[in-house]
Structure 1
Amino acid sequence: IKTVFAGSSCNDIVCTEQCVMSGHFDKKIRFWDIRTESIVKELELFGRITALDLNSERTELLTCSRDDLLKIIDLRVSAVKQTFSAQGFKCGSDWTRVVFSPDGNYVAAGSADGALYVWNVLTGKLERTLAKHH
C-alpha cells in the first residue's frame, strides 16, 4: 500500500489494469499510471467531482459534479462525449454517487431531493425519476 498526495481531496476512484482515475474537490479528474505512480493527465470540469464510474468496456468514464451535471468522457480521446441534466436534479453533497447500468444503456444518480434520476444514454434524455418514497 502506498499513499500518493494528489493536491486536492479525492472523492472517488476507479481503476483499470494500467490506470487509476481519481475525481477531486478541485474539479479535476486525474489519470495515474500505476507503474510509475505519477499523474499522466488531468481533465478539469466545471464543478467539484463527487463520483466516477466506468462502463463495462472501460472506454467511457461517467462523472457527477457539484454543478449538477453528469458527463460521459470518452477515454480514447479524453473528451466529454455527453452531458446529462434535468429539472430538479441537484448534486447535493460531495458523496453523491453515479452509475452506468450493466448494459451501458442508462446512467443514474441520486439527487438532493431524495429521488433517483435515470437517463437514457442513447437519447440523452431523462428516462425516469424514482421518487424517494419508492
Structure 2
Amino acid sequence: MESTSSTLPTQKNSAIYSSTKIDDTIRYLSLHDNKYIRYFPGHTKKVITLSMSPIDDTFISGSLDKTLRLWDLRSPNCQGMMHVGGRPVAAFDPEGLIFAAGINSEMIKLYDLRSFDKGPFSTFQLSMEKECDWTGIKFSPDGKTILTSTNGSVIRLVDAFQGTALKTFAGHLNNKGIPLEASFSPDSQFIFSGSTDGRVHVWNAETGYKVCVLNADHTGPVQCVQFNPKYMMLASGCTNMAFWLPSLDDM
C-alpha cells in the first residue's frame, strides 16, 4: 500500500505524488491509463511537500532529509537542490517567479527561481509554533499574503512582502495531530480549512472572523480543501469527497 503525502494536478490527465512504497521516489502518474510516466529519485527520507509551478513544468519538493529539490517534469534528474537545515514546506507564488520555503515552523525564506542558488532574497523570522508543525504553505492568489497550515488547530496569515504576522485563524477542530490543508478562495478574501469533525470552516481573511461552517457527509477528518482554478467550485476530501458551489443568493 502506498502512502502519499501530497497529490498535485500537473496536466489535465496526470498527477505527481510522493510515496513510501519502496523508497522516497516521487512518481508522475498518467490518470488516463493508470501508468507511470516518470520517476524522480533523490530524496532519502519521506517527501512532505510538493508544489507545481503555475506557468511551466517545474515543481519543487521538500523532504524530512532537510532538502528542497527543483525538478522538471520532462527529466528524472534533479535541476537543483538546497540544504535547508530543517523540516521544510514550500510553494510557488501565483506568477511562478519565486517560491517560499518554510523552515522548522519558524522561518519563511523567499527565493527567486532564476537565481535560487544565490540564496534567499528575503527571510522572515516568525514566532515558533509551540504545539504543532507547519505542514503546508500557500501564497494567496493575489500574491500579497502567505498562509501556513499546521497539524494543530491554528492557521496563520503572513504579509508576503514584509513578513509581518497578520491574522491567526482558529476554532476548527484538530484533535488527531494530522495535517489539515487550508486554502484561499480565488479572490483571496476567505480562508477555508478542513477539520477532524468532518466539517469545513471559513474565515474572512481581512478580519480573521469565522463567517460560516460547511457541513457535508464527511465520515472522517477533512484533510484536503481546494478550489478549482478556473471555476468557483470547492472540493473537500476525507475518505470521500464533497463538491461545493456558491448559491445564487451569494452571487
> TM-score with structure 1 length normalisation?
0.81
Q: Determine which of 27, 42, 48 is the counterpart of 1:11.
A: 48
Aligned 1:1-134 pairs, distance under 5 A: 1=36, 2-8=38-44, 9-16=46-53, 17-49=56-88, 51-78=89-116, 79-87=119-127, 89-90=129-130, 92-93=132-133, 96-111=135-150, 114-132=153-171, 134=210
| Structure-2 change in CA distance of 1:59 and 1:91 (3 Å) | farther
1:7-45 CA-partner distances (Å, limit 9, x unpaired): 322112222323221111111111123323201211111
Higher relative contact order (CA 8 A, sep 6+): 1
Residue 123 (structure 1) shift? 2.1
CA distance, structure 2, for counterparts of residue 104 and residue 59 of structure 1: 11
| Structure-2 change in CA distance of 1:91 and 1:45 (3 Å) | farther
Structure 1 vs Structure 2 CA RMSD: 2.4
CA distance, structure 1, for counterparts of residue 105 and residue 169 of structure 2: 21
| Structure-2 change in CA distance of 1:27 and 1:4 (3 Å) | same
> TM-score with structure 2 length normalisation?
0.47
8 Å CA contact 1:90, 1:113 repeated in 2: no
CA distance, structure 2, for counterparts of residue 114 and residue 102 of structure 1: 23
Residue 92 (structure 1) shift? 2.7
CA distance, structure 2, for counterparts of residue 123 and residue 4 of structure 1: 35
User: Looking at CA atoms only, which structure, 1 or 2, has the larger radius of gyration?
Assistant: 2
1:31-61 CA-partner distances (Å, limit 9, x unpaired): 1233232012111112121x32111110111
Query: Which deviates the most, 62-71 or 73-82?
Result: 62-71
Structure 2 residue matching 1:3: 3-state secondary structure: strand
8 Å CA contact 1:84, 1:119 repeated in 2: no
CA distance, structure 1, for counterparts of residue 93 and residue 50 of structure 2: 14
8 Å CA contact 2:48, 2:64 repeated in 1: yes
CA distance, structure 2, for counterparts of residue 12 and residue 116 of structure 1: 17
| Structure-2 change in CA distance of 1:64 and 1:132 (3 Å) | farther
Residue 73 (structure 1) shift? 1.6
Extract unaligned runs of 5+ from structure 2.
1-35, 173-209, 211-251
CA distance, structure 1, for counterparts of residue 130 and residue 84 of structure 2: 17
| Structure-2 change in CA distance of 1:45 and 1:5 (3 Å) | same
| Structure-2 change in CA distance of 1:123 and 1:7 (3 Å) | closer
